[in-house]
Structure 1
Amino acid sequence: MTRFILVRHGETDWNKEHRIQGHADAPLNADGIAQAKSIATRLFDTPVHAIFSSDVSRTRETAAIIAADRGIEIQEMFDLRERNYGKWEGVTQGEWEASDPAGFAHWKRAPETYVPPGGESLQEVHERAVRAYNYISQNQSSRSTVVVVGHGAALLVLTVHLLQLPLKARNNFNLSNTSLSVLDVGQDFTVIRLWNDVSHRGISIP
């Protein structure tokens, strides 16, 4: 069994502005750095054997704060990147809706069937997220604990894959910035031990 600690990156200015990030390289803002420090403190006493991150600034910066003083090299992976939103990257959700109301409504209603112009389908994100998982799991010994710092779309499609759920089931899950989710994954089972926990940020859980 391998324990996967899934961490969504800290906040960026684009998060606050409801701006589509995708593959665009927006760094953490001051709040995002504080969030990353809070989850690093939360995980301080947790033995970690490996840390993986997508290769853009907001995840690398989050992972670096978690990895500080652990002596663990962060392994960056393109396959853990956020969904590529093509022409919509860098625009706010309001601007997208005003420019293409039908496409925006489709994305909100059924993101698993919407393909942004010049971007990726959710199935393509699923395929590379699973490829990343296979690489990670094949290169870890049993009973390892692995931190994966990534993005909402990639971590959600990976989760539904591990739970053997259809792709559209990702719409039933959510991940907040620097949320902590813990999955125990064995040869023929996946158990969610914790999901979207942000108590380390001083936010109460209903």
Structure 2
Amino acid sequence: MNKDLRFYFVRHGRTIWNEQGLMQGSGNSNLTEQGVQGAVKTGEVLQTIPFVAAYSSCLQRTIDTAHHILGERDVPLFQHNGLNEHHFGSWEGTLVDNIRQHPEFQQMVNDPANYQARCNNGETWQQLAERATKAIQDIIKIHDKGNILIVSHGHTLRLLIALLNGATWQNHRENGKSETLANTSISVVRYVQEENAQGRFIVEKVNDVGHLG
């Protein structure tokens, strides 16, 4: 079966915990006014894109962001827990500055291959990669063609887009393989599958913030 899909990946709007410098992960905090406005501006620039469906994580900050992007448009919005943020265990809700020098924190951001999440009982990069990749494969099974909005999170989207662009979960944070995604930035990835052939991803845009100026 032929498939031709274009994914519009958007990181959720800025939140209170973002402002306070707290680790979020599976925890949730509400969008700030800036976060809401970022989502509205994203919706304005994507107004002409005919989405066949939208997907968010199961966390309220992405659901709210998706609603602000879609506005009154008649686009079905679904949740997939594979799109949830990296689970940070006992680090969630703590000040990033207080744990930044912890050896496992440094490992998480600089050495994904060896990050085991032992001290916080969180999630490894491999676990995040497997569930996020499965989420995209699940969505591809459902749709054959069209544009799909995906609203997710910083770590999840950074890893996922890197994987779709040929990186591995072990090396995705090396220079040139991925970048930190701004709140309500837009990244675009096309998926093409021709009859009896392996599907392929084409990364067209990463971390576009031109609409937020």
Cross-structure match for 1:200? 211
SS of the aligned residue for 2:172 comes to: helix
Distance 2:116 2:130 in 1: 15
| Aligned: 1:182 with 2:188 | yes
Cross-structure match for 1:110? 111
After TM superposition, give the deviation of residue 108 of structure 1 in Å. 2.8
Q: TM-score, normalised by structure 2?
A: 0.88
After TM superposition, give the deviation of residue 68 of structure 1 in Å. 1.5
After TM superposition, give the deviation of residue 97 of structure 1 in Å. 3.3
After TM superposition, give the deviation of residue 191 of structure 1 in Å. 1.6
Which consecutive segments of 4 or more residues in structure 1 shift more than 6 A?
A: none
| Aligned: 1:20 with 2:31 | no
Cross-structure match for 1:170? 172
What are the Cα deviations for residues 33-52 of structure 1, in whole angstroms up to 9, with x where unaligned?
01101101110111111100
SS of the aligned residue for 2:204 comes to: strand
Q: TM-score, normalised by structure 1?
A: 0.91
- Check the 8 A contact 2:164/2:203 in 1, yes or no: no
Distance 1:11 1:170 in 2: 24
Percent of aligned positions with the same letter in both sequences? 30
Distance 2:73 2:187 in 1: 20
- Check the 8 A contact 1:54/1:149 in 2, yes or no: yes
Give ranges in structure 1 of 5+ residues lacking alignment: none
After TM superposition, give the deviation of residue 112 of structure 1 in Å. 4.2
What are the Cα deviations for residues 6-41 of structure 1, in whole angstroms up to 9, with x where unaligned?
000000121122211000011111110011011011
- After TM superposition, the structure 1 = structure 2 runs for residues 22-101 of structure 1, keeping only pairs within 5 Å, are 22-97=25-100, 101=102
Question: How many residues in Structure 1 have an aligned counterpart in Structure 2?
Answer: 199
| Aligned: 1:157 with 2:159 | yes
SS of the aligned residue for 1:184 comes to: strand
156 and 123 in structure 1: CA distance in 2 versus 1, 3 angstrom threshold? same
Q: CA RMSD in A?
A: 1.5
Give ranges in structure 2 of 5+ residues lacking alignment: 194-198
- Check the 8 A contact 1:39/1:66 in 2, yes or no: yes
The letter of the residue matching 2:168 is: P
